Copies of this chain bind each other. A is one copy, B any other.
Amino acid sequence: MPEDNEDKKNRILDAATSLFAKRPFHKVLLDDVAQAAHVGKGTLYLYFEGKEELYLAVLFRNFSKLIERIQDNIAKNENDPKAQLTGIIEELIKSLYNHAAFYELLRGAIVSLPDNNRWSGERAKLYKLIENVLRSGIEKEVFSDSHPDLTALYIPGIVRSVCLRRPEAMTTEDILRHAGGFVLEALRPR
Protein backbone atom coordinates (compact mmCIF):
# COMPACT_ATOMS: atom_id res chain seq x y z
CA MET A 1 0.00 0.00 0.00
CA PRO A 2 1.33 3.44 -0.87
CA GLU A 3 2.49 5.43 2.10
CA ASP A 4 1.77 9.02 1.22
CA ASN A 5 -1.63 8.26 -0.16
CA GLU A 6 -3.24 7.90 3.21
CA ASP A 7 -5.49 10.56 1.78
CA LYS A 8 -6.90 8.37 -0.92
CA LYS A 9 -7.50 5.59 1.57
CA ASN A 10 -9.49 7.97 3.68
CA ARG A 11 -11.48 9.17 0.72
CA ILE A 12 -12.46 5.59 0.08
CA LEU A 13 -13.35 5.02 3.71
CA ASP A 14 -15.45 8.17 3.76
CA ALA A 15 -17.35 7.13 0.67
CA ALA A 16 -17.86 3.63 1.98
CA THR A 17 -18.97 4.89 5.38
CA SER A 18 -21.63 6.99 3.77
CA LEU A 19 -22.90 4.18 1.55
CA PHE A 20 -22.89 1.46 4.17
CA ALA A 21 -24.80 3.90 6.34
CA LYS A 22 -27.61 4.09 3.83
CA ARG A 23 -27.90 0.54 2.59
CA PRO A 24 -27.35 -2.99 3.84
CA PHE A 25 -24.10 -4.69 2.93
CA HIS A 26 -25.38 -6.58 -0.09
CA LYS A 27 -26.95 -3.50 -1.63
CA VAL A 28 -23.72 -1.52 -1.58
CA LEU A 29 -21.80 -2.09 -4.80
CA LEU A 30 -18.09 -1.56 -5.08
CA ASP A 31 -18.85 0.32 -8.26
CA ASP A 32 -20.75 2.83 -6.19
CA VAL A 33 -18.00 3.08 -3.61
CA ALA A 34 -15.39 3.68 -6.31
CA GLN A 35 -17.50 6.30 -7.97
CA ALA A 36 -18.31 8.08 -4.74
CA ALA A 37 -14.63 8.09 -3.82
CA HIS A 38 -13.64 9.34 -7.28
CA VAL A 39 -11.38 6.38 -7.63
CA GLY A 40 -11.11 3.50 -10.06
CA LYS A 41 -12.69 0.28 -8.95
CA GLY A 42 -9.38 -1.51 -9.11
CA THR A 43 -7.90 1.04 -6.75
CA LEU A 44 -10.08 -0.23 -3.95
CA TYR A 45 -8.07 -3.41 -4.07
CA LEU A 46 -4.83 -1.54 -3.59
CA TYR A 47 -6.01 -0.41 -0.22
CA PHE A 48 -8.36 -3.17 0.91
CA GLU A 49 -8.39 -6.87 0.34
CA GLY A 50 -12.01 -7.10 -0.64
CA LYS A 51 -15.48 -5.94 0.09
CA GLU A 52 -15.73 -7.43 3.53
CA GLU A 53 -12.39 -6.10 4.56
CA LEU A 54 -13.46 -2.65 3.39
CA TYR A 55 -16.66 -2.96 5.36
CA LEU A 56 -14.81 -3.90 8.49
CA ALA A 57 -12.31 -1.11 7.93
CA VAL A 58 -15.16 1.36 7.82
CA LEU A 59 -16.57 0.11 11.07
CA PHE A 60 -13.18 -0.12 12.64
CA ARG A 61 -12.05 3.36 11.74
CA ASN A 62 -15.22 4.96 12.98
CA PHE A 63 -15.22 2.87 16.09
CA SER A 64 -11.66 3.80 16.87
CA LYS A 65 -12.44 7.46 16.44
CA LEU A 66 -15.31 7.08 18.90
CA ILE A 67 -13.14 5.35 21.45
CA GLU A 68 -10.52 8.03 21.19
CA ARG A 69 -13.03 10.76 21.77
CA ILE A 70 -14.43 8.93 24.74
CA GLN A 71 -10.96 8.49 26.20
CA ASP A 72 -10.29 12.20 25.83
CA ASN A 73 -13.56 12.96 27.47
CA ILE A 74 -12.87 10.69 30.40
CA ALA A 75 -9.49 12.26 30.90
CA LYS A 76 -10.98 15.73 30.86
CA ASN A 77 -13.37 14.84 33.69
CA GLU A 78 -10.99 12.99 35.90
CA ASN A 79 -12.41 12.09 39.28
CA ASP A 80 -15.95 12.96 38.26
CA PRO A 81 -17.56 9.64 37.28
CA LYS A 82 -20.96 11.25 36.73
CA ALA A 83 -19.55 13.75 34.27
CA GLN A 84 -17.52 10.99 32.66
CA LEU A 85 -20.61 8.87 32.18
CA THR A 86 -22.59 11.75 30.76
CA GLY A 87 -19.69 12.48 28.45
CA ILE A 88 -19.68 8.89 27.21
CA ILE A 89 -23.37 9.07 26.48
CA GLU A 90 -22.86 12.35 24.69
CA GLU A 91 -20.13 10.93 22.47
CA LEU A 92 -22.17 7.85 21.72
CA ILE A 93 -25.11 9.98 20.70
CA LYS A 94 -22.93 12.13 18.47
CA SER A 95 -21.49 9.08 16.78
CA LEU A 96 -24.65 7.14 16.28
CA TYR A 97 -26.84 10.03 15.44
CA ASN A 98 -25.31 10.53 12.05
CA HIS A 99 -23.96 7.15 11.13
CA ALA A 100 -26.69 4.65 10.67
CA ALA A 101 -24.31 2.07 9.25
CA PHE A 102 -22.36 2.56 12.31
CA TYR A 103 -24.96 0.71 14.30
CA GLU A 104 -23.44 -2.38 12.87
CA LEU A 105 -20.56 -1.64 15.11
CA LEU A 106 -22.32 -2.45 18.28
CA ARG A 107 -23.89 -5.37 16.62
CA GLY A 108 -21.18 -7.57 15.28
CA ALA A 109 -23.45 -10.57 15.16
CA ILE A 110 -23.33 -10.77 11.45
CA VAL A 111 -20.00 -10.63 9.80
CA SER A 112 -17.63 -13.33 10.81
CA LEU A 113 -14.14 -13.00 9.56
CA PRO A 114 -10.60 -14.09 10.35
CA ASP A 115 -9.55 -10.78 11.85
CA ASN A 116 -12.83 -10.53 13.63
CA ASN A 117 -10.57 -10.53 16.64
CA ARG A 118 -8.93 -7.17 16.13
CA TRP A 119 -12.44 -6.08 15.79
CA SER A 120 -14.07 -7.53 18.86
CA GLY A 121 -11.00 -6.40 20.75
CA GLU A 122 -11.92 -2.85 19.83
CA ARG A 123 -15.47 -3.42 20.91
CA ALA A 124 -14.32 -4.89 24.18
CA LYS A 125 -12.18 -1.79 24.70
CA LEU A 126 -15.25 0.42 24.56
CA TYR A 127 -17.12 -1.66 27.09
CA LYS A 128 -14.11 -1.80 29.37
CA LEU A 129 -13.82 1.95 29.24
CA ILE A 130 -17.41 2.32 30.37
CA GLU A 131 -17.10 -0.38 32.96
CA ASN A 132 -14.08 1.34 34.45
CA VAL A 133 -15.92 4.59 34.78
CA LEU A 134 -18.70 2.71 36.54
CA ARG A 135 -16.28 0.96 38.86
CA SER A 136 -14.56 4.17 39.77
CA GLY A 137 -17.98 5.65 40.54
CA ILE A 138 -18.88 2.66 42.67
CA GLU A 139 -15.62 3.01 44.53
CA LYS A 140 -16.26 6.68 45.10
CA GLU A 141 -19.79 5.74 46.17
CA VAL A 142 -21.51 7.96 43.65
CA PHE A 143 -22.81 4.85 41.86
CA SER A 144 -24.28 1.64 43.11
CA ASP A 145 -24.24 -1.36 40.81
CA SER A 146 -23.79 -5.07 41.36
CA HIS A 147 -22.76 -5.81 37.77
CA PRO A 148 -20.98 -2.91 36.09
CA ASP A 149 -19.96 -5.26 33.27
CA LEU A 150 -23.61 -5.67 32.33
CA THR A 151 -24.42 -2.03 32.78
CA ALA A 152 -21.52 -1.20 30.49
CA LEU A 153 -23.41 -3.07 27.81
CA TYR A 154 -26.71 -1.32 28.52
CA ILE A 155 -25.44 2.16 27.90
CA PRO A 156 -24.54 1.85 24.21
CA GLY A 157 -27.75 -0.18 23.83
CA ILE A 158 -29.80 2.63 25.23
CA VAL A 159 -28.18 5.23 23.05
CA ARG A 160 -28.40 3.07 20.00
CA SER A 161 -32.10 2.43 20.31
CA VAL A 162 -33.02 6.01 20.99
CA CYS A 163 -30.91 7.23 18.08
CA LEU A 164 -32.49 4.75 15.72
CA ARG A 165 -36.05 5.54 16.62
CA ARG A 166 -35.93 8.93 18.26
CA PRO A 167 -39.17 10.92 18.27
CA GLU A 168 -39.11 13.63 15.66
CA ALA A 169 -39.71 16.48 18.03
CA MET A 170 -36.76 15.67 20.21
CA THR A 171 -33.40 17.40 20.01
CA THR A 172 -30.09 15.76 20.70
CA GLU A 173 -29.89 17.72 23.95
CA ASP A 174 -33.27 16.50 25.11
CA ILE A 175 -32.20 12.97 24.47
CA LEU A 176 -28.88 13.40 26.18
CA ARG A 177 -30.52 14.91 29.24
CA HIS A 178 -33.15 12.21 29.54
CA ALA A 179 -30.92 9.26 28.77
CA GLY A 180 -28.20 10.59 31.07
CA GLY A 181 -30.75 11.14 33.84
CA PHE A 182 -32.15 7.66 33.31
CA VAL A 183 -28.80 6.02 33.71
CA LEU A 184 -27.68 8.15 36.67
CA GLU A 185 -30.93 7.44 38.42
CA ALA A 186 -30.51 3.71 37.88
CA LEU A 187 -27.05 3.91 39.38
CA ARG A 188 -27.98 6.10 42.34
CA PRO A 189 -26.52 4.76 45.56
CA ARG A 190 -29.19 3.32 47.80
User: Which residues of A pack against B, CB within 8 Å?
Assistant: 23-26, 100, 103, 106-111, 123, 127, 146-147, 149-151, 153-154, 156-162, 164-167, 170, 174-175, 178-179, 181-183, 185-188
Contact = CB atoms under 8 A, between A and B. Distances in A.
A62 to B, nearest CB: 15
A123 B165 CA distance: 10
28 contacts: A24-B111, A25-B26, A100-B109, A100-B110, A103-B107, A103-B109, A106-B164, A107-B107, A108-B165, A147-B178, A149-B167, A150-B170, A150-B178, A150-B179, A150-B182, A151-B178, A153-B162, A153-B164, A153-B166, A154-B161, A154-B162, A156-B161, A157-B157, A157-B158, A158-B158, A160-B160, A185-B186, A186-B186
A84 B114 CA distance: 43
The 8 closest A-B pairs by CB, nearest first: A157-B161, A26-B26, A186-B186, A157-B157, A24-B110, A154-B158, A185-B186, A153-B161
Contacts of A188: 185
